Structure 1
Amino acid sequence: MMKIKPIVVLKIFISIGILAILFTNIDISKTWQQFQSLSLPFVTFALIYYTICQWLSCLRWQVIIRSTGKYISINSLLSSYFAGMFLNIFLPGSFGGDIYRIYRITKETHDSEAALVSVFLERLTGLFALSALAVLGLPAAIRVVGRWDVILIFFGCVGALVGGVILIVSPQLLIIVEPSLNKFGLRSVAVRFSKIQIILRHFAKDRRALIISVLLSFLLMLAVVYYHYLVATQLKIPISYLELLVFIPIISVITLLPISLGGLGLKEGLWVYLFSRIDLAVEQALLLSVTITMLSWFLSLPGGIILLLDSSGLQHIKQADNSSK
C-alpha cells in the first residue's frame, strides 16, 4: 500500500481549504448560469487552440535540444509533454511532470545534463517572455489596472524569477557555495551544476537557437494570454487583454510555490484577489479559473494513456519521489 507523505497531505488540505472558503462565498446558480455560455463548438476550438500552443512549446523545446547536438522528433516531445501535464494536474506527489520529461529525454539522448537543461530552458524562456511582455505592456496596463499593490506584486514575481535564474546559472555564485556543498557531501551536485552551466553557456552562444527559442516563446506567451482572453470573453467576463497580461505572470510565478496541490486553490485565490482589484466579482474569478483548469484536464487525458503504456517511466517517477522522502 502506497504511503502518502505528510507534506502531500498538507498540500491537499491547503488546496481543499482555500477552495472551500471561496466556493462557500459565491452564488452557485449565478455562476452555473454564466458557465452555460460555453458551447461545445467553442470548447472544441479551445482544446485545438491550446494543443497548437503545446505544439509551439515542443517546437521551442526541440530547438533548445538541437543546440546541445541532440535531435528528438516533435511527436516524441509532444507525447512527453502531455504526460507531464497529466502528472502535474492529477498526481499528488512531489516530483511533477518535469521529472518525467527529463527521464524521457535522457532515455533518448543518454545525456541527463542536456535533458535537465533543455527542460529548464524550455520553462525559463517561456517565463522570461511572459514577464518581458508584461513589462512592455505595463505602462498601458497601469492605467487599466490602476492598483499599485498589483503592480508591486507583479514586479516582486519578476524579481523572484530573475533571482532564481541567477542562482542557477551564475558561475561566480557556484564558486562561492561549492565549498559548502563539498562540506555537506554534495560535491556531485556542484559537479552537475557546473556541467549544466557549461551547456547553458553553449546554448547562449548559439545565437540562432537563442533567437528562435525566444521568438517562439514570445509568440507562445501572446497566444496563451489570448487563450485566457478568449475563454473570458466567451464567459462574458469583462476583462481586457492588458489586464490578463499583468495577471497571468503573477499567477504563473506564485503557483510555482510548492504549498498546494499543483497550485489548486492557490491559483483560484489569486484570481479572486486580482479580480477584486479591478472590481470584478468572486464568481467571475472562480468561473474563469475553474474553466481554464477543466479545459486543461481534458487536454491532459491523452497524457494519462501515454503513462499507462510507459510502465518503466512510472517506475522511474516512483523511485524519484521515494528518494525525495
Structure 2
Amino acid sequence: MKKVLKLAAGLVILSVLVALSGPGRVLEGMKKVGPGAFSLAALLYLSGQTVCSYRWMVTSRALGVERPFAVHVVLYLSGMFLNLFLPTAVGGDLGRAYLLAGRERWQMGFASVVGERYAGFVVLSFILSACSLFNGDFLPDGVRLFFLSAFPLSLAIPVIYTRLGMPLKRRFLGEKLEVFDAVGRLFTRGDVAGKALGSSLVFYLLYIALHYVVILRVWGDMDISSLAVVVTATSLVSMIPVSPGGLGVREGGYAFFLSLLGIPTPVGVAFGISVLAVNLFLSLVGGLLLFLLRSTQKI
C-alpha cells in the first residue's frame, strides 16, 4: 500500500507540473527530441548502467559474492524496473541484492549495493560541489552553499559510520545483522574504493552526456558545467523518498534548476519527461530480461 501511495504521489506531482506548464507546450518540446536523439540518449544510459554494473561487481566480489558480470548487468537493470513498477515494499536495491546473493547471503548482497551506491554518491557530490563552485552563480546563495558542502559531507560518512555507527552496532546488536560489518569492511578497502569511484565518474560523465543530447533538442546549446549542476542537483533532490524512483520530484527539479538559467518551465518539464522516457524504456528492458532469465532459472 505504501508503494502504491508513493506512486500515486509521483503521478500527481507530474500531472500538476504538466497542467501548470501547459500540456500542449510540454508535448511540443518532447516532440523535438525525435527517435534519433532518443536512441542516442538510451544508448548512453545503457552504457552508464553497464558501468554501474561493473561497480557493483567490484563491491560484491570484495565481499565474496562471485557472479558473472552479465548477471550483474541484468540485475542492475531489473533493479530499475523493481523501483519504478512493482507495488511492493521490497525496493529494487534489496530485490537485486537478494537475486544476486540468494537467501543465505542476501546481507552480503545488500552490503555490496550500499557500497556501490555510496561510491556513486561521492562522485555525484564531487561534481555538484565543483561545478557549483566554478559556475554556480545562478543558484540562490543558500542553495549554492549547501551544494558546496555536499562533497565534504559525503566524505565524512565512512568516518562517522566506522567510529560511531559500528561501536553502537556492536554494543546493542553484537554479531547480529552482518550487513553492517560488511559495509564497514568495504569502507576500509582502498583498492575497491578506487575502482568504484573511477567507474562512478565514468557513469556520471555518460549520464550528463545523455542530458546534453536531450537539452540540445528541447532547448538548444548550453554550458556543460551549468547542465552538470542541474543534473547532479536534481539527482540529489530526487533522493527524497516521496515517490518511486523520484517520479515527479525529478522532473520538477529539472524544471526548477533550468528556470534559474532562464529556461522556461514548460521546456524544463518537457526535458524532464523526455529523460524519464529513456529511464522507463530501459527499466522495461530490465524487467523483460529478468522475467525471461527467471523463467529459464538462469538467475
TM band (smaller chain): 0.7 to 0.9
2:115 paired residue among 101, 121, 127: 121
Specify the SS of the correspondent of 1:256. Answer: coil
Tell me which residue corresponds to 2:260. Answer: 277
2:73 paired residue among 78, 90, 106: 78
- What aligned pairs does 1:77-226 form with structure 2 within 5 A after superposition? 77-107=72-102, 110-143=104-137, 145-155=138-148, 169-176=161-168, 182=172, 187=173, 191-192=176-177, 195-226=178-209
Contact 1:125 1:213 in 2 (8 A): yes
Query: Structure 2 counterpart of 1:98, which letter?
Result: D
Contact 1:154 1:249 in 2 (8 A): no
Query: How far, CA to CA, are the matches of 1:208 and 1:164 in structure 2?
Result: 18
Query: How far, CA to CA, are the matches of 1:300 and 1:266 in structure 2?
Result: 18
Taking structure 2 as the reference length, the TM-score comes to: 0.86
- What aligned pairs does 1:291-306 form with structure 2 within 5 A after superposition? 291-306=274-289
- Note the C-alpha offset of 1:233: 1.1
Show structure 1 runs of 4+ deviating over 4 A: 155-167
Query: Structure 1 counterpart of 2:136, which letter?
Result: I
Query: How far, CA to CA, are the matches of 2:181 and 2:170 in structure 1?
Result: 16
- Note the C-alpha offset of 1:239: 3.8
CA displacement, residues 82-125 of structure 1 (integer Å, 9 cap, x when unaligned): 111111122233322101111122129x5333211111111110
Contact 2:166 2:180 in 1 (8 A): no
Query: How far, CA to CA, are the matches of 2:186 and 2:165 in structure 1?
Result: 20
Contact 2:128 2:150 in 1 (8 A): no
Specify the SS of the correspondent of 2:20. Answer: coil
- Residues 19 and 198 (structure 1 numbering): CA distance in 2 closer, same or farther, change over 3 Å? closer
Contact 2:62 2:192 in 1 (8 A): yes
- Residues 216 and 35 (structure 1 numbering): CA distance in 2 closer, same or farther, change over 3 Å? same
Matched, 1:29 2:24: yes
Query: Structure 2 counterpart of 1:116, which letter?
Result: F
Query: How far, CA to CA, are the matches of 2:150 and 2:191 in structure 1?
Result: 29
Query: Structure 1 counterpart of 2:96, which letter?
Result: R
CA displacement, residues 17-55 of structure 1 (integer Å, 9 cap, x when unaligned): 322322222233333333222232222222222111111
Q: Which runs of 5+ in 2 are unaligned?
A: none
- Note the C-alpha offset of 1:13: 4.0
Taking structure 1 as the reference length, the TM-score comes to: 0.80
Query: How far, CA to CA, are the matches of 1:209 and 1:12 in structure 2?
Result: 35
Q: Which runs of 5+ in 1 are unaligned?
A: 314-325
CA displacement, residues 132-166 of structure 1 (integer Å, 9 cap, x when unaligned): 122223322224x2532431453476577567666
Matched, 1:242 2:225: yes
2:49 paired residue among 49, 54, 58: 54
Aligned length: 296
Query: How far, CA to CA, are the matches of 2:194 and 2:77 in structure 1?
Result: 26
Query: How far, CA to CA, are the matches of 2:244 and 2:282 in structure 1?
Result: 19
Pick the structure with greater CA Rg.
Answer: 1
CA displacement, residues 278-325 of structure 1 (integer Å, 9 cap, x when unaligned): 221111111111001111111122222234343799xxxxxxxxxxxx
Tell me which residue corresponds to 1:263. Answer: 246
Query: How far, CA to CA, are the matches of 1:153 and 1:95 in structure 2?
Result: 32
Aligned Cα root-mean-square deviation (Å): 2.9
Which has the larger displacement, 122-131 or 245-254?
245-254
- Residues 13 and 107 (structure 1 numbering): CA distance in 2 closer, same or farther, change over 3 Å? closer
Query: How far, CA to CA, are the matches of 2:17 and 2:273 in structure 1?
Result: 12
